[in-house]
Amino acid sequence: MLIRTGRDGLTHPQSSEITPLGIYQQRRDLIRWMAGGAAGAGLASWASRQALAQAARPGKLAALSATKSAVPGAMTMEKLTDYKDASTYNNYYEFGTDKADPAQYAHTLKTQPWTVEVDGLVKKPAKYAIEDLVKLSAQEERVYRMRCVEGWSMVIPWVGYSMAKLIAMVEPLGNAKYVEFHTLADRKTMPGVGSSVLDWPYVEGLRMDEAMHPLTLLAFGMYGEVLPNQNGAPVRLVSPWKYGFKSAKSLVRIRFTEAPPRTAWNKAAANEYGFFSNVNPNVDHPRWSQATERRIGEDGLFAKKRKTLMFNGYEAQVGQLYAGMDLKKFY
């Protein structure tokens, strides 16, 4: 069993200290130079990378080297959302309900030390220190469309590896049908946890075949760097064909179950937030249409809306998971 390491004292900067990534390509060149050209070299310790990045590039977060993913559908060629927009317009209710709250308040989140417990219906339960979880598999860069239920979208380059890699490590039992994700709920560092807006901790879930799908990502970074606190540091789920609230942030537990988990938003409003929550332009939210969306950073409220794509544009990759299902009933 992997055990927690005792490094602490590391913090992420506040949003005011994060600058846009206009020199993204130059940074990647620097990473390759520092690695001495050794492709696939092992990751340095999380703490060492954090310290190096802060010293070399003030205001930036620690770099994560990664290769471009070969998973079909994982590398859209659409224009990236600007880093500043992606890191300052967020839903993360543990830090407040306004889109700007996470960037303002998430600096209080302590991501070192950090462990993720994997348990439930598995042969090999384990508790992973974040440093060990990062190194379980080679990191990939994936550019995913992300769609929020309120009608806005982004295109973000994530860094991580397929959730299926971790699932294979713990060996689920035959009766494990679902994967349940628990996020941190710490009143000391997360001011929103004191509210009654949701039942804490935030819980999300996927059916086993959804969790095993190659597009489902366990993400440790974005834009080539470790995750900012407000985007779900130090590790989060990314399921790009579903509405954004399904991609749980700041994971502390992954549990394998036989029954569908009761998820946070489904408990709060089952008529508005179904368990599957696949992006579907044909199923409206009770209070607004889901047929169109607005890309963040593109001319604001005056931008022409885009037509929402079935499964957020990943129908060719994931549509078979729902063959024969009534997607208006199982929304």
State the DSSP code for 322.
G
Q: Quick one: pLDDT at residue 300?
A: 63
In a domain? residue 329: no
State the DSSP code for 309.
P
Q: Quick one: pLDDT at residue 38?
A: 34
**CATH number where 107 lies:** 3.90.420.10
Q: Quick one: pLDDT at residue 301?
A: 64
In a domain? residue 7: no
d(CA 109, CA 192): 12
pLDDT of 17 over the 70 cut: no
Which of helix, strand or coil describes residue 107?
Answer: helix
Q: Quick one: pLDDT at residue 60?
A: 79
Mean pLDDT computed over 159-169: 98
pLDDT of 130 over the 50 cut: yes
Total structural domains within the chain: 1
In a domain? residue 238: yes
Q: Quick one: pLDDT at residue 304?
A: 80
pLDDT of 248 over the 80 cut: yes
d(CA 254, CA 120): 8
In a domain? residue 10: no
How crowded is the C-beta side of 42, counted as CA atoms within 13 Å? 7
Helices (H), the chain: 24-34, 46-56, 83-86, 101-105, 130-134, 163-170, 208-212, 264-268, 315-318
The backbone torsions φ and ψ at residue 34, rounded to the nearest 5 degrees and listed phi first, read: -65, -30
Q: Quick one: pLDDT at residue 298?
A: 83
d(CA 179, CA 141): 24
Q: Quick one: pLDDT at residue 80?
A: 97
In a domain? residue 104: yes
Mean pLDDT computed over 21-49: 39
Mean pLDDT computed over 3-10: 36
Q: Quick one: pLDDT at residue 256?
A: 98
pLDDT band of 11, cuts 50, 70, 90: very low
Percent of the chain with pLDDT over 90: 78
Yes or no: say if 55 and 67 are a contact pair by the CB < 8 Å rule. no
d(CA 21, CA 159): 15
DSSP code string of 36-101? TT-TTPPPPPHHHHHHHHHHHSTT---B---EEP-STTSB--SPPPPHHHHTTS---GGG-SSTTH
pLDDT of 121 over the 80 cut: yes
pLDDT of 32 over the 50 cut: no
Tens-place pLDDT, residues 284-310: 998 899 999 999 988 766 778 899 999
Mean pLDDT computed over 208-214: 98
d(CA 106, CA 102): 5
d(CA 236, CA 141): 15
Q: Quick one: pLDDT at residue 107?
A: 95
In a domain? residue 261: yes
Query: Token match 């060719």: residue?
Result: 316
Query: Which range of residues forms the domain containing residue 54?
Result: 15-322
Mean pLDDT computed over 256-262: 97
In a domain? residue 234: yes
d(CA 157, CA 270): 31
d(CA 325, CA 157): 31
pLDDT of 10 over the 80 cut: no
Mean pLDDT computed over 65-78: 96
In a domain? residue 224: yes
Dihedral, CA of residue 33, residue 134, residue 90 and residue 252, to nearest 10 = -160
pLDDT of 261 over the 60 cut: yes
Which residues are registered as beta bridge partners of 157?
A: 143
Q: Who wins on pLDDT, 79 or 53? A: 79
